[in-house]
Amino acid sequence: MSKQEDKNSFENLEYIESYLAGTLKSVEPPKDFSQRLRKRIRIPTREELVSRLRDWKRLYIIFGSVMAGMLMIITIARSLYYLFGHKKIV
Amino acid sequence: MPEKEYEETEVLKRASEGDRDAFGELYEHYIDRIFNYVYYRTGNTHDAEDLTARVFQRAMNHIHNYTDRGVPFSAWLYRIAHNLVANWHRDRSRKQEIPIHDVPVIKAQGNHPELSLVRSEEQEALLKLIRKLPPERQHLLILKFVENLSNSKIGQIMGRSEGAIKSLYHRTLLSLRDQADDQSLDLEGD
């Protein structure tokens, strides 16, 4: 075996391995990290929110409900005006 | 937790069907590993936390696409982590240094405090060298030393044969030795 091969053998690299073993040790995440992250990943992502906005059926229902509600309020307000407010003016 | 006791196939099946509790089990099982991987690739806890969170968010959003092809589930998670870390490095486009308060806490081994201080400086220098290695070599070192996995297991995760891992590991050690020599870093001094 040549000197170069000997220098590059695993046996002669053991000192680096021992340094790596002392340096690359398992690090524990902060104690509350796991819980914080658990809460965080249950929050809908941006993509999910965008996909909800692209749900046309749901949007039509929401839009229709809002319009129906507004019409109902206007109708009730007008009828109350004709029943009570109109007489006072006359 | 030993792999055999942890019935991953069943949990994975439930998780891919949308069972959030099952995903929670996967999360508990892998969070430390992914955190360690990201931590050693980025060098600080703040970004490690943020990127680990993104890894699991992405995993949760795409778990329904996961198909078991005989490759460990961890390989899939590590691939997500690798991509996010690569994006992070690209976005920062400058070398990451470890803030002094973020140097990993090494468990006490009965060394003299002065000696442990010297070792920490050398360890810090070695960490900088490690971060200059190509990503797959960094991954190999993390799996080997942080997770204490065998070459065979590392091969499964990295999609290579055991022999290829052994060869890559040898080249990585040679590369580290040469870089340490170039920077006059004395690792043989013990």
- List b or e across A5-35, with b for residues whose CB sees 16 or more CB atoms inside 10 angstroms: eeeeeeeebeebeebbebbbebbebeeebee
Which pLDDT belongs to residue B123?
82
- B40 at interface of A, judged by CB pairs closer than 8 A: yes
Nearest-neighbour CA in chain B from A54: distance (Å): 17
Class in CATH terms, B111-190? mainly alpha
CB-nearest to B146 from A17, A18, A24 is A24
What is the complex's ipTM, to 2 decimals? 0.71
Domain ranges of chain A: 3-89
- A3 at interface of B, judged by CB pairs closer than 8 A: no
Q: What is the pLDDT of residues B14-59, one digit of tens each?
A: 888 888 788 888 888 999 999 999 999 998 888 999 999 999 999 9
A85 or B119, higher pLDDT? A85
**Which CATH architecture best describes the domain B1-104?**
Orthogonal Bundle (1.10)
Q: Nearest-CA residue of chain A relative to B127?
A: A23
Query: Do B35 and A10 make contact, defined as CB atoms within 8 angstroms?
Result: no
Domain ranges of chain B: 1-104, 111-190
Measured between beta carbons, the chain B residues lying within 8 angstroms of A15 are: 187-188, 190
